[in-house]
Structure 1
Amino acid sequence: MMFKFYHFKTLDSTNTKAKELIRKNQNNLIITAEKQTKGKGRFNRKWASSFGGLYMTIVLKVDDLDKTKYLTFIAAISVTKTINKLTKLNSKVKWPNDVLIDDKKVCGILTETISGKENYALVGIGVNANQQRFPKNIANKTISLFLKTNKKFNIEKISKSIIKEFNNLYNYYNKKNYGKIIDEWKKNSHTLGREVKAKTLSGSFAGKAIDVDKDCNLVLKLKNGKLKKIVEGDIFVV
């Protein structure tokens, strides 16, 4: 797929900029920024977005908004493959939207949708690349590529690799071969096989993460042996 690129030194948020460009009838966009002043993650949480990171939003016109969850998986896999290729580190995807290195977060993904006469998916990707420190409240659970390797990385090279990997997997999305996307996610999973606690809007559930179903939902085997499908929420390894 061919994209139109926009790069900025500083933005409040690449997703916010994407919405502005969509209102001007633009699509198939990639917006990058060197810093975000109002970056956010899921549930409107603040995302630390200082200089040294990669902040990017991919804008796609979509037919079925229910299928955009696969785009989150595609983005996570693309980041994982890029990190592992460029750094030789062993990053993994954490359900539903993170990438981890040694149990610490190196990337977060936020997919937003816009519905109307035409529907859009905004896949926001934040990668901790060259940051040398993080705020105290997240420092013990966050990592950057620099902190892990003591090497500086070319941000443009990282973004180009992510886009290449994204395009490869997006071909499966276009062909509605969602099973292949799920399979790729499972190959790179940090979550499956672990005892976890899921905090959801309907309550908390503890069990072993045994599968991701065809709709990207996490399947837990609870202590009583029953299976519980987790559609949304946060996952913590216990």
Structure 2
Amino acid sequence: MKEAEASKRKHSGAGEDFAAAIADLPLISRVYFFPEIDSTSTWAHQLLLKSGYSAALHGSIVLADYQTAGRGRYQRAWVSPPQRSLLFTLILSANAFPFKAQRSLATRSQHVAQWLSLAAPLSVCEGLQEAAQIPARVKYPNDVYVHDSKIAGILLENSGSEHEWFLVGIGVNVNQTRDELPSPAECQATSLFCETQRQFERPRVLRAILEKLSRWWELGDIAPLTRRMNELCYTIGRLVKIVLPETEIMGVALGIAPGGALLVRDSAGRTREVYAGDIRELRFIEPKP
């Protein structure tokens, strides 16, 4: 079994179930489990700092049954009842990435950042498709939807002096009922239970997601990721408004470029490339009748 800290051994039930489910995955090195924590991503970041960015932490995963201060992009709150969601952060090092193809970006960290911006949501999407047989799709850049409702979110953060460490925070709505999800006025959300009327074992859902991510990691190439994202991207073909740090773009999402950017045809007919890391907000716009 993978190395696990005292926090996991102390609370044997759920922590051991999670650790056992992913014990044989080559990408995972250590498992840290908490019944309750402020944020798995915050704790993972502190772990890296305290270790002096030890290479041994590559592949570590921090899991929790409940977060008191879970967050998404731009500090948006992620709220979920205890033991109903899948809440975890995976620590990955760009220095461990198995490059199998020529890099398109200047630095290793930049390349891995763009790779992860595709691989993380795709792995969640494919994992949920396999675990629950639901029509999950990726809403570029960092959400997974079923039909028109959000079922999962991904938060990708950098750490380290050269941004060579990545914290991949993932939250999946698993066994929440309708009453336990945010109101439609706050967020149109769903869960595996709401979609299937079945309860799911969270360790099995975790394994399905991490199996997909491990496979993509071993490929070490962004090209197959972009092809797959073009097949599973919920955003393509829709009229969108994209808020960037200094401007806004309104247009039709055309697809994913070879380097992973979203291609958008703007109102002037120009095709623009928009990278995930630059997007502050992406909203769908209903066409006027």
**If the length of structure 1 is used for normalisation, what is the TM-score?**
0.92
Distance 1:100 1:117, change over 3 A: closer
Structure 1 residue 3 and structure 2 residue 47: aligned?
A: no
Say whether residues 1:77 and 2:109 are aligned partners: no
Q: C-alpha distance in 2, partners of 1:70/1:138?
A: 33
Closer, same or farther in 2 for the Cα pair 1:49/1:215, shift >3 Å? farther
Q: Does 1:156 align with 2:182?
A: no
Matched, 1:221 2:265: yes
CA contact (8 A) 1:65 1:113 kept: no
1:196 Cα offset (Å): 1.4
Over 3 Å counting, the alpha-carbon distance change for 1:125 and 1:138 in structure 2 is farther
State whether structure 2 residue 103 is matched by structure 1 residue 56: no
Do the aligned partners of residues 28 and 158 (structure 1) sit closer, same or farther apart at CA in structure 2, a change above 3 Å counting? same
Pairwise mapping of residues 1-238 of structure 1 onto structure 2 (< 5 A)? 1-22=27-48, 23-24=50-51, 25=54, 26-51=57-82, 52-63=84-95, 64-67=108-111, 68-116=113-161, 119-132=164-177, 133-136=180-183, 140-173=187-220, 177-231=221-275, 232-233=278-279, 234-238=281-285
C-alpha spacing 1:197/1:9, structure 2 compared with 1 (3 Å): same
Higher fraction of helix: 2
How many angstroms does 1:186 deviate by? 1.4
**Following TM superposition, by how much is the alpha carbon of 1:79 offset from its aligned partner in structure 2, in angstroms?**
1.1
Query: 1:69 offset after TM fit, Å?
Result: 2.7
Q: Is the deviation greater in 162-171 or in 45-54? A: 45-54
Report the structure, 1 or 2, having the larger strand content: 1
Root mean square deviation of aligned Cα: 1.7
Q: Alignment partner of 2:65: what SS?
A: strand
Distance 1:21 1:213, change over 3 A: same
State the percentage of identical aligned residues: 26
How many residues end up aligned between the 2 structures? 235
Between Structure 1 and Structure 2, whose CA radius of gyration is higher? Answer: 2
Question: How far apart, in 1, do the equivalents of 2:185 and 2:230 lie?
Answer: 27
Q: CA deviation at 1:137?
A: 6.3
The whole-number CA distance in structure 2 between the counterparts of 1:194 and 1:8 is 40
Q: Which amino acid aligns with 2:70?
A: G
Stretch of structure 1 that moved more, 130-139 or 23-32: 130-139
Shift of 1:139: 5.4
Higher deviation after alignment, 70-79 or 17-26: 17-26
Amino acid paired to 2:268: N
Report the AA paired with residue 84 of structure 1. Answer: Q
Name the CA shift for 1:142/1:118 in 2 (closer, same or farther; >3 Å). Answer: closer
Contact 1:99 1:106 in 2 (8 A): yes
Inter-CA distance 118–136: structure 2 relative to 1 (3 Å threshold): closer
**If the length of structure 2 is used for normalisation, what is the TM-score?**
0.76
What's the secondary structure of 1:39's corresponding residue?
coil
Quick check: 2:80–2:181 contact (8 Å CA) kept in 1? no
Q: Is the 8 A contact 1:72 1:123 kept in 2?
A: no
Distance 2:138 2:259 in 1: 17
Structure 1, unpaired ranges of 5+:
none
Conserved? CA contact 1:49–1:55, under 8 Å: no
| Structure 2 stretches lacking a partner, 5+ long | 1-26, 96-107
User: How many angstroms apart in 1 are the aligned matches of 2:124 and 2:194?
Assistant: 17
Q: Is the 8 A contact 1:218 1:230 kept in 2?
A: yes
* Pair 141,33 (structure 1): closer, same or farther in 2 beyond 3 Å: same
Q: Deviations over 1:33-90 (max 9, x none)?
A: 1111111111111112332000111111114221213213211111111111121110
